């Protein structure tokens, strides 16, 4: 008899990670279904339907829709009786874990995708986190950093927490079609002769450190006046501040803002170098773009936040810079761009590093083991 596993995910449009899980989880052992807490149809919903995974979308637009959705979730669990409910992201956490608890679901797993966000920016969220931590039977931390937050700052027993790194179909980041890259180059008007193209894929929020990368790029223009900065995932609560900085420091010809790009794997191939510079070591929970950039073979400049502290090595697979330092970012970019041998070495080493540590097979195996262990199998 297959084990019933219901995933609850909130506010996600497209996610390669959940697509991979839906496709590669052992369907002979696990009967998988999804509940998406979204206010509209999503690419993830369409994908799940296309491969025959049962999926429901429930709205959480307003307070009353959340109340209704909570009741629907509870009734769904009472009727379907899944052995495991696995919730991802904040709304799915407090609504899904609570509904599963009310319905008597034996195994309630919550993957914590954020780190100290509520401790520093939204203090009231700590109360909700505490509720989720108590009602979940197992907490999955996506990095050692998150595990330390849960056990250290939030007092969760170490035995209740397991680290499961994100896994990736890494070949998709290196084996892209040139026609797809060319299509993006045309879409975003990136001339072939433009050098360098500096890439960032970061939501516009304070702790991502974009406000330090833009002035660093401005300095780089003194050496490379035709350089282009690509800012992808250009939405968030810090959008006004970021756009004010852009308006004051850069000409429009030197940057592109991309709100959303579905073909993220091809997008990486537009970049000569990549930058990801969160402002401290704990704000980033995981930071999948550390892994993606290396898998794509793009030499990168990083600060050590989230999972980066577990595998990034200076001048081996990336250049590491100090937190909140536009000068350090500029110097690292200048060094990378002026040394093709270093870029090539970092590209090769980075690709090898992530293939060993962040394979999809490794993540799927860890999840399946967690599910079986929680049920005493």
pLDDT in tens, 245-280: 999 999 999 999 999 998 999 999 999 999 999 999
Average pLDDT, the chain: 96
44 and 175 housed in the same domain: no
180 and 220 housed in the same domain: yes
Give the whole-angstrom CA distance, residue 283 versus residue 115.
6
Reference 197, options 217, 179, 219, 183; nearest CA is 217
189 and 276 housed in the same domain: yes
- Element spanning 331, H or E: helix 326-337
Which CATH number belongs to the domain containing residue 60 in this structure?
A: 3.40.50.2000
Percent of the chain exceeding pLDDT 90 equals 94
Q: What is the pLDDT of residue 16?
A: 87
Residues 300, 316: contact at Cβ < 8 Å?
no
pLDDT category at 1 given cuts 50, 70, 90 is confident
Q: What is the pLDDT of residue 356?
A: 83
Q: What is the pLDDT of residue 70?
A: 97
Which residue is associated with the tokens 């009786």?
81
pLDDT category at 335 given cuts 50, 70, 90 is very high
Give the whole-angstrom CA distance, residue 279 versus residue 302.
11
Structure tokens that stand for 120 in this block = 């520093």
Residues 306, 113: contact at Cβ < 8 Å?
no
- Express each pLDDT in 58-97 by its tens digit: 999 899 999 999 999 999 999 999 999 999 999 999 999 9
What are the strands of the beta sheet with 55-58, ordered from one edge?
55-58, 30-37, 3-10, 84-88, 107-112, 138-141, 161-163
Cβ neighbors of 180 (< 8 A, separation 6 or more) are 263, 266
267 and 344 housed in the same domain: yes
Residues 198, 220: contact at Cβ < 8 Å?
yes
Q: Please list the alpha-helical segments (H only) found in 51-170.
A: 63-80, 90-91, 97-102, 117-120, 125-135, 144-148
Residue 11 clears pLDDT 90, i.e. is over it: yes
Q: What is the pLDDT of residue 192?
A: 85
Structure tokens that stand for 37 in this block = 């807490």
- Express each pLDDT in 274-298 by its tens digit: 999 999 999 999 999 999 999 999 9
Q: What is the pLDDT of residue 94?
A: 97
Percent of the chain exceeding pLDDT 70 equals 100
175 and 231 housed in the same domain: yes
Q: What is the tally of structural domains in the chain?
A: 2
Residues 97, 110: contact at Cβ < 8 Å?
yes
- Express each pLDDT in 104-163 by its tens digit: 999 999 999 999 999 999 999 999 999 999 999 999 999 999 999 999 999 999 999 999
254 and 192 housed in the same domain: yes
Q: What is the pLDDT of residue 201?
A: 98
With left for phi above 0 and alpha for psi between -120 and 50, is residue 286 left, alpha or beta? alpha
286 and 206 housed in the same domain: yes
pLDDT category at 52 given cuts 50, 70, 90 is very high
Domain range for 110? 3-167+359-374
Strand partners, 4: 31
Residue 231 clears pLDDT 90, i.e. is over it: yes
Residue 30 clears pLDDT 90, i.e. is over it: yes
b/e sequence 202-219, b meaning 16+ C-beta within 10 Å: bebbbbbbbbbbbbbbbb
β strands within the chain, DSSP E? 3-10, 30-37, 55-58, 84-88, 107-112, 138-141, 161-163, 197-201, 228-232, 255-258, 273-276, 300-302, 319-320
Structure tokens that stand for 59 in this block = 């709205």
pLDDT category at 50 given cuts 50, 70, 90 is very high
9 and 54 housed in the same domain: yes
pLDDT category at 222 given cuts 50, 70, 90 is very high
157 and 225 housed in the same domain: no
Give the other-Cβ count within 10 Å of 123's Cβ.
Answer: 9
Reference 129, options 94, 159, 101, 97; nearest CA is 94
200 and 325 housed in the same domain: yes
28 and 109 housed in the same domain: yes
Pairing of strands 161-163, 3-10: unpaired
Q: What is the pLDDT of residue 376?
A: 87
User: pTM of the predicted model, to two decimals?
Assistant: 0.88
Q: Mean pLDDT throughout 157-185?
A: 94
250 and 323 housed in the same domain: yes
Residues 8, 86: contact at Cβ < 8 Å?
yes
């Amino acid at each position: 008899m297959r084990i019933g596993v219901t995933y609850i995910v909130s506010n996600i449009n497209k996610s390669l990670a959940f697509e991979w899980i839906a496709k590669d989880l052992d369907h002979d052992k696990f009967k998988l279904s999804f509940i998406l807490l979204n206010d509209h149809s999503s690419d993830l919903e369409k994908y799940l339907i296309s491969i025959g995974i049962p999926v429901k979308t429930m709205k959480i637009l307003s307070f009353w829709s959340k109340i209704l959705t909570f009741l629907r979730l509870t009734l769904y669990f009472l009727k379907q009786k899944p052995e495991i409910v696995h919730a991802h992201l904040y709304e799915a956490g407090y609504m899904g874990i609570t509904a599963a608890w009310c319905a008597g679901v034996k195994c309630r797993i919550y993957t914590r995708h954020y780190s100290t966000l509520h401790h520093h920016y939204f203090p009231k969220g700590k109360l909700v986190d505490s509720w989720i931590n108590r009602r979940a039977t197992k907490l999955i931390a996506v990095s050692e950093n998150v595990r330390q937050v849960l056990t250290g700052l939030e007092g969760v027993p170490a035995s209740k927490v397991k680290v499961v790194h994100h896994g990736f179909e890494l070949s998709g980041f290196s084996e892209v079609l040139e026609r797809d890259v060319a299509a993006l180059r045309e879409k975003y008007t990136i001339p072939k002769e433009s050098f360098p193209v500096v890439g960032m894929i970061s939501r516009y929020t304070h702790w991502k450190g974009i406000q330090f990368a833009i002035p660093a790029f401005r300095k780089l223009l003194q050496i490379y006046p035709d350089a282009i900065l690509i800012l992808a995932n250009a939405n968030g609560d810090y959008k006004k501040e970021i756009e004010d900085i852009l308006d004051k420091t850069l000409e429009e010809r030197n940057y592109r803002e991309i709100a959303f790009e579905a073909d993220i794997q091809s997008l990486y191939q537009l970049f000569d170098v990549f930058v990801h510079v969160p402002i401290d070591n704990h704000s980033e929970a995981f930071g999948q773009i550390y892994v993606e950039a290396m898998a794509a073979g793009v030499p990168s400049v990083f600060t050590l936040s989230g999972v980066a502290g577990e595998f990034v090595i200076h001048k081996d697979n990336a250049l590491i810079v100090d937190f909140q330092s536009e000068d350090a970012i500029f110097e690292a970019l200048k060094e990378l761009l002026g040394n093709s041998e270093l870029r090539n070495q970092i590209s090769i080493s980075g690709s090898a590093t992530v293939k060993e540590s962040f394979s999809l097979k490794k993540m799927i195996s860890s999840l399946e083991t967690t599910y079986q262990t929680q049920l005493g199998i």
